[in-house]
Amino acid sequence: MHNIGIDLGGTKTEGILLDDNFEIIERKRVKTNQEKGYSSILELIKDLVDHLRQKTDQKTSLGICTPGALSKETGVIKNSNTQCLIGKDLKNDLENILNQEISIENDANCFALAESKLGAAKNFDVVFGVIMGTGVGGGIVIKEQIHNGRTNIAGEWGHHCIRPQGNSCYCGKKGCVETYLSGPALEKRWEEISGKQQSVSEIVLDLENKKNNNQYPRWKGEFLTNFGLALGNVIDILDPDAIVLGGGLSNIPFLYDDAKSSVYHRVFSDQIDTPILKNKLGDSAGVFGACMI
């Protein structure tokens, strides 16, 4: 049996066809156009799956990696930053269109699973995967199995509170990790304290080059504190064997030294050496993970 995985992202959607050894037979990437609404997303997935099915004469499994979680009670999508998916029964609708049973998983869970099976966290039993990009998410994998939890929200790291009186979040709560550690949140904070509009990668580059602006240490200090709090909590509760970072912000070099120290500093333990690893599969983790669910 061959495996088809679809990674439905906010801006791009990727499809992949893998053989039994997870070797790539075919992959294709298209623009998502989420502003055209839910029906265009269904069409786009159907086109991709049809294309991939033509590349093999074997039976195929089909997994979809999507932002948001599936409600355990109703099956509809909740908590998605691709907002036209919220409240939709994507699994049922796709099964009807594609005439096949499918599996759907949250993108951070797919990321954690793929990195645990094939990537940076291979050979670690309990893995916490973190995505830091436009949004912030997390997933727990135990012995190569996703841990979903009683209500399908296990590992929803981006929306646990680190500051009860803090920033308002679209989810309705205050002080969520996502409102401090997402790309847009970090850029907004930089603009507040420096008056400048810059991307996170530009800010980090200036920091590395020791550009003379005394707001940089302040911005970085807050970043380190929030990152330390947010991952220190995870270690205190889950004590994973490894943490693997993904998403655009995982390219920031200081996450693996200064920020790691900030995490260790906040953990309730006399001895701490949890590896904090950069992902190995890059952008492909979601689509590989979708083939494995």
Using CB under 5 A as the criterion, which residues of the chain lie in contact with Zn ion when the complex forms?
A: 159, 169, 171, 173, 176
Q: Return d(Cα 159, Cα 65) in angstroms, integer.
A: 19
Q: Return d(Cα 191, Cα 70) in angstroms, integer.
A: 35
Of 4 and 169, the one with the shorter C-beta distance to Zn ion is: 169
Q: How far is the CB of 165 from Zn ion (least distance, A)?
A: 14
- Name the DSSP class of 176: B
The three-class DSSP label of residue 250 is: helix
Of 41 and 136, the one with the shorter C-beta distance to Zn ion is: 136
Q: How far is the CB of 156 from Zn ion (least distance, A)?
A: 9
For helices 216-238 and 258-265, the axis angle rounded to 10 degrees is: 50
Give the DSSP H/E element, type plus range, for residue 110.
helix 107-117
CB-based burial of residue 120 (10 Å sphere; 0-12 exposed, 13-18 middle, 19+ buried)? buried
Beta partners for residue 66, in sequence order: 106
Strands 242-246 and 126-132: parallel
Residues in the chain: 293
Q: How far is the CB of 121 from Zn ion (least distance, A)?
A: 26
Q: Return d(Cα 229, Cα 231) in angstroms, integer.
A: 6
For residue 242, which of 285, 293, 201, 278 has the smallest C-alpha distance?
278
Q: Return d(Cα 280, Cα 118) in angstroms, integer.
A: 8
Q: How far is the CB of 159 from Zn ion (least distance, A)?
A: 4
Of 104 and 176, the one with the shorter C-beta distance to Zn ion is: 176
Of 159 and 266, the one with the shorter C-beta distance to Zn ion is: 159
Sign, CA dihedral 257-274-80-63, equals positive
Amino acid at 12: K
Of 61 and 152, the one with the shorter C-beta distance to Zn ion is: 152
Amino acid at 243: I
Q: How far is the CB of 226 from Zn ion (least distance, A)?
A: 14
Of 113 and 230, the one with the shorter C-beta distance to Zn ion is: 230
Q: How far is the CB of 21 from Zn ion (least distance, A)?
A: 39
Q: How far is the CB of 173 from Zn ion (least distance, A)?
A: 5
Q: How far is the CB of 274 from Zn ion (least distance, A)?
A: 25
Of 120 and 177, the one with the shorter C-beta distance to Zn ion is: 177
Of 185 and 287, the one with the shorter C-beta distance to Zn ion is: 185
Residue entry with tokens 């036209």: 84
